[in-house]
């Protein structure tokens, strides 16, 4: 059993790596192959993976994760301003600072669970947001947002070219650099920033996979299924949940740091609670508690945000050009409020549908489909992601076994 | 003394809004045990009821004047609301007092929205974990907010108070203090009185009617009430509608203070959750008391003296959250929460 699990994980890891690295090739045909959007896919993927370590494993629903994203952004940008334009110290510093911040908030918030935990984290995030706007203006630059400046000291860098604001780089490789390669009539854009974030994403995905498979991850799942029972067995669960909280805060800080490395501008609206809501949407949509789900959800939501919000009435009318005019116009009037600037409506609707009918997210949906097909055509084969979905629901397939008994204690 | 009185008064209008919304939230939580993140959207819809009603009332007939010319040399357009055409002077007064009239308009609308929401969506979530309830109502809040944004646009729509209530009143002089020491806008006073009436009405309804008695019994022990042969679900649905009405009315009357915009619901929602938590989940009096308390506390925190005392830090933006954190950590059931209700 363990052996199959491992080979499955290796396969998943290799597949994931290949897909991420081939990003420009895969995304170009669907109109998403430009650097800015691809970077967003990857960075929000990291954010969602981190959120999933907390919510997916322990079941603690944090509504304040954007605060860590914001803290990460601000601290990384300060490092870029003060220390060096190289992104490495910025990222390290951001992760450390957001980890400390998460330790503080987690220490207080984790004293409560359930809805109180959600409200506490929400309160802390709103507090940080309001502080960033008002009292902390010297650090955050208030409404204008913090950005790079000509007068930045940058003590580690040699004096750069005058009259130009430097752009963040990785030992000389500028994040904005893009190689455009024509391929089959498409322009594939290979961007430095994308690949830096993509490598980090792959590393972070591996880390989360290890956490999912570790004894530590098992304890976290036990917290989700029944914390009281876990406490009665003699485990003190709080250090475990706190560690999970800090890890996920550090993931968020890392994502925030990468955001400013790609685009050196940090604003307080990044910490608003709608931003916290967004990462919740991503994780649920993809599938909370599964490995691949959050990345999937992040990709889908960011794709919709960028592609769907650009569709206007003309485009919709174009789709129905084959139909008679009055019918095309009728369809357009029905559909267009849900696209373009109104795409948030469809996002909210899809999200509600997912929560109502498919609480396991898209991964569960894919599994259901797969089960349907395999049931129709002979005996079925376990895949790694399937395993996750089952582990989450607490009903493992009959083959699965002793190593997972803790998970089985859950009765939903 | 007058400075303190002024801050208390300043806190009252915000406090009234918090109290009304928190009352609605608590009615829903206390009866149905549902955490409703879409509650802020109800507040917003209430205020847009005023906008809609005002638009309906001031539906105009446009005629071209035959004699007068506009500065551009084209015939002057004369805008006359139909209501004025039909009712004359009375019509003009109706438009002026449209905020009050829209209360009558908002009650059935909010009741309908509340009942549809409960029967259509929330009913299916009683048995599911609180996290799921939060998520689905959060999704609903996004949808409602965006629908309003599509229909009414993203800009705030200012709503005037009736002419008779514009301006302010010198409260200090009334109670024998120096002139012009404590000046307070009339509409805020109206809002406070209105909130008092609504809150009093709800409490009286729950206290003195048979319906209210059954609901209170259901809040205490739903199962037993069901066993006694009472269809408690139906009553709880009605309470959800009532909660929606209370919150909607809070929005209706708040429009002259804050121009309705599509994100006002979300702004208030977070604060009102905090209010409910401070007051104690499921405690109606707690919600009302905490609403006023936090409103007043917020206005005190914005005093310059407080700022000086804290070495120049202004804490009016964060005081509510700070209080909530302290309360949750020291007295998790809130100020007036019942023992054993959602304590962990």
User: Is B99 among the domain residues?
Assistant: no
Helix, strand or coil for residue B210? Answer: helix
User: Is B187 among the domain residues?
Assistant: yes
Q: What is the pTM assigned to this prediction?
A: 0.82
Helix, strand or coil for residue A265? Answer: strand
- Spatial distance between the Cα atoms of A63 and A273, rounded to a whole number of angstroms: 7
Question: What 8-state DSSP symbol labels residue B163?
Answer: G
Distances (CA, A) of A268 to A37, A104, A142, A282, B18: 21, 20, 7, 21, 25
The residues of B whose Cβ lies within 8 A of any Cβ of A are 35, 121, 124, 130-132, 134-136, 138-143, 145-147, 149-150, 266, 270, 273-274, 277, 313-315, 317-318, 321-322, 324-325, 328-329, 332, 342, 344
- Spatial distance between the Cα atoms of B44 and B145, rounded to a whole number of angstroms: 8
User: Is B320 among the domain residues?
Assistant: yes
Give the pLDDT confidence of A74-133 residue by residue, as tens digits: 999 888 888 877 888 889 999 999 999 999 999 888 888 778 888 888 888 888 888 888
For chain B, the 3-state helix, strand and coil shares in percent, each to the nearest 5, are 70, 5, 25
- Counting residues of chain A whose pLDDT is more than 90, the rounded percentage is 19
User: Is B61 among the domain residues?
Assistant: no
Backbone angles phi, psi at A170, to 5 degrees: -110, 95
Question: What's the structural domain count of chain B?
Answer: 1
User: Is B90 among the domain residues?
Assistant: no
Segment among B85-94, B104-113, B140-149 with least mean pLDDT: B85-94
Q: How far apart are the first and last CA of chain A?
A: 25
- Give helix B89-96 / helix B98-120 axis angle, nearest 10°: 50
Bridging pattern class, strands B168-170 and A178-183: unpaired
Apex A88 CA angle, A86 and A92, nearest 5: 140
User: Is B243 among the domain residues?
Assistant: yes
Residue B28 near residue B272 (C-beta atoms within 8 A): no
Give the pLDDT confidence of B303-338 residue by residue, as tens digits: 777 777 766 666 777 788 888 888 877 887 778 777
The boundaries of the domain holding residue B31 are 2-52+107-330
**Left, alpha or beta for B110 (phi > 0: left; psi -120 to 50: alpha)?**
alpha
> What is the model's pLDDT at position A390?
46
User: Is B343 among the domain residues?
Assistant: no
Partners of B184 in the β-ladder: B169
Helix, strand or coil for residue A169? Answer: strand
Backbone angles phi, psi at A269, to 5 degrees: -65, -15
Residue A59 near residue A51 (C-beta atoms within 8 A): no
Give the pLDDT confidence of A361-384 residue by residue, as tens digits: 888 888 888 888 887 776 545 544
- Spatial distance between the Cα atoms of A49 and A289, rounded to a whole number of angstroms: 10
Name chain A contacts of B150, Cβ cutoff 8 Å. Answer: 337, 341-342, 345
**Mutate: best of B143, B148, B316, B343, partner A, most A CBs <10 A:** B143
Q: How many Cβ atoms from other residues are within 10 Å of residue B318's Cβ?
A: 23
Give the pLDDT confidence of B172-215 residue by residue, as tens digits: 677 766 666 677 888 888 889 999 999 999 999 988 999 999 98
Q: Is the pLDDT of residue A247 over 90?
A: yes
Q: Is the pLDDT of residue B268 over 90?
A: no
A24-308 has CATH 1.20.120 classification? no
User: Is B147 among the domain residues?
Assistant: yes
> At a CB cut-off of 8 Å and minimum separation 6, what does A155 contact?
A82, A83, A84
- Give helix A273-286 / helix A293-307 axis angle, nearest 10°: 120
């Amino acid at each position: 059993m363990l052996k199959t699990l491992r080979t499955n994980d290796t396969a998943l890891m290799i597949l994931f790596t290949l897909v991420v690295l081939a990003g420009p090739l895969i995304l170009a045909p669907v109109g998403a192959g430009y650097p800015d959007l691809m970077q967003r896919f990857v960075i929000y993927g990291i954010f969602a993976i981190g959120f999933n370590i907390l919510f997916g494993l322990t079941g603690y629903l944090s509504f304040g994760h954007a605060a860590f994203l914001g803290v990460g952004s601000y601290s990384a940008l300060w490092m870029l301003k003060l220390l060096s334009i190289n992104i490495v110290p910025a990222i390290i510093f951001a992760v450390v600072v957001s980890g400390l911040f998460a330790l503080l908030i987690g220490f207080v918030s984790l004293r409560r669970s359930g809805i109180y935990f959600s409200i506490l984290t929400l309160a802390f995030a709103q507090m940080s947001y309001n502080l960033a706007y008002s009292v902390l203006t010297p650090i955050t630059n208030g409404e204008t947002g913090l950005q790079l400046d000509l007068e930045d000291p940058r003590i580690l860098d040699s004096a750069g070219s005058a009259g130009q604001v430097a752009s963040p780089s990785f030992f000389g490789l500028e994040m904005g650099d893009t190689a455009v390669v024509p391929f089959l009539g498409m322009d594939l854009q290979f961007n430095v920033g994308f690949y830096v974030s993509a490598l980090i994403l792959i590393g972070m995905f591996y880390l989360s996979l290890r956490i999912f498979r570790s004894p530590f991850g098992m304890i976290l799942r036990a917290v989700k299924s029944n914390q009281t029972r876990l406490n009665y067995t003699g485990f003190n669960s709080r250090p475990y949940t706190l560690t999970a909280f800090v890890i996920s805060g550090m993931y968020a800080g890392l994502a925030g740091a990468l955001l400013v490395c790609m685009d050196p501008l940090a604003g307080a609206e990044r910490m608003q609670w709608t931003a916290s809501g967004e990462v919740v949407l991503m994780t649920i949509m993809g599938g909370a508690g599964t490995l691949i789900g959050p990345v999937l959800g992040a990709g889908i939501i960011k794709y919709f945000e960028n592609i769907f919000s650009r569709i206007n009435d003309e485009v919709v009318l174009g789709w129905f050009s084959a139909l008679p005019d009055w019918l095309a116009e009728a369809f357009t009037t029905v559909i267009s409020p849900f696209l373009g600037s109104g795409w948030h409506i469809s996002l909210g609707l899809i999200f509600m549908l997912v929560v109502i009918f498919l609480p396991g997210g898209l991964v569960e949906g894919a599994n259901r489909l797969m089960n349907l097909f395999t049931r129709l055509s002979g005996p079925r084969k376990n895949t790694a992601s399937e395993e996750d979905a089952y582990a989450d629901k607490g009903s493992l397939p009959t083959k699965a076994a002793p190593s997972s008994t803790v998970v089985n204690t859950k009765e939903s | 003394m007058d400075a303190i009185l002024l801050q208390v008064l300043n806190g009252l209008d915000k406090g009234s809004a918090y109290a009304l919304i928190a009352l609605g939230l608590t009615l829903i939580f206390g009866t149905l045990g549902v955490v409703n993140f879409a509650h802020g959207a109800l507040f917003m819809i209430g205020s847009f009821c005023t906008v809609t009603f005002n638009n309906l009332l001031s539906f105009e007939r446009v005629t071209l004047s035959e004699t007068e010319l506009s500065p551009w040399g084209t015939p002057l357009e004369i805008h006359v609301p139909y209501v004025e055409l039909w009712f004359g002077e009375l019509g003009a007064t109706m438009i002026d007092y449209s905020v009050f009239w829209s209360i009558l308009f908002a009650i059935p609308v909010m009741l309908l929205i509340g009942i549809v929401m409960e029967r259509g969506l929330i009913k299916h979530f009683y048995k599911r974990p609180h996290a799921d309830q939060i998520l689905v109502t959060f999704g609903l809040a996004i949808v409602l907010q965006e629908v309003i944004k599509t229909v009414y646009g993203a800009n705030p729509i200012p709503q005037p108070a009736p002419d008779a209530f514009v301006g302010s009143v010198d409260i200090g002089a009334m109670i024998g203090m120096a002139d012009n020491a404590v000046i307070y806008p009339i509409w805020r006073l109206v809002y406070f009185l209105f909130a008092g009436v609504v809150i009093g009405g709800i409490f009286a309804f729950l206290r003195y009617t048979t319906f209210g008695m059954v609901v209170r019994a259901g809040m205490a022990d739903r199962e037993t009430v069901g066993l006694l042969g009472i269809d408690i679900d139906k009553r709880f649905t009605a309470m959800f509608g009532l909660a929606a009405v209370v919150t909607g009315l809070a929005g209706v009357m708040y429009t002259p203070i804050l121009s309705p915009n599509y994100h006002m619901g979300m702004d208030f929602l977070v604060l009102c959750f905090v209010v409910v938590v401070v007051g104690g989940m499921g405690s109606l009096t707690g919600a009302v008391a905490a609403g006023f308390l936090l409103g007043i506390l917020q206005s005190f925190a914005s005093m310059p003296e407080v700022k000086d005392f804290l070495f120049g830090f202004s804490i009016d933006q964060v005081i509510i959250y700070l209080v909530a954190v302290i309360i949750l950590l020291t007295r998790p059931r809130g100020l007036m929460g019942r023992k054993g209700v959602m304590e962990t």
